[in-house]
Structure 1
Amino acid sequence: MFSRTAVRAMQSSRPLFMQPTHVAAMRQTARRMSPVPKEEQGAHTVSQRLRQLKKIPAELIPLGVVLSIAIGAAIFSMGRKLVVDKNLRLKRQAGNE
């Protein structure tokens, strides 16, 4: 159908990521004439925030418990390692610079 030279002529010599892309003309966003809506979380009391916990699916509660225990254990073990381990160098030694 095509000869080798015709196929090579159709192929670009530059890789695809180096070829220029066409950028649409940029323009400013139109100003909104309506006031900015208030945030959902603005000035909520503690009881209102606790009521929002009911929106969390029940399937995610065990996941949260397991993750919080794992993160707590990791923080505890790292802190204990820093306090207990005598071989751990936390400061530079005076002679080795």
Structure 2
Amino acid sequence: MGALIYASAMRLICLFLILWVQGAVLQAAPCGGDFKQFILDLKSEARAQDLQKKTIDRFFATAALDPNVLRMDRNQGHFRKDFLSFSAGLISGTRLKNAKRFAEKL
């Protein structure tokens, strides 16, 4: 059972890495869209990758719009950095370790 959970978590992590890379090379999407719709779209993309609905729902259960992240993103000045470069400065090593540990529990 643990191997199945680990495999599901790793697939989910890989999916989001792929989505981040794709997002970095695509033209920037307009800001200010509906957050709930954004999450629904991400869930749909994850489901298209054959991830289990239960895994997807648990992953997004605590997803929330963070005004601090939006403020920092908007204050970076005419979007001089792509998302991956920008997010690397926001996401600490501790957060990445915690995210990996959490994903392994899914």
Identify, as 1 or 2, the structure richer in helix: 2
Q: Same fold (TM over 0.5)?
A: no
Larger radius of gyration: 1
Question: Which of the five TM-score ranges fits, normalised by the shorter chain?
Answer: under 0.3
TM-score norm. by structure 2 comes to 0.25
The structure whose RCO (Cα within 8 Å, separation 6+) is larger is: 2
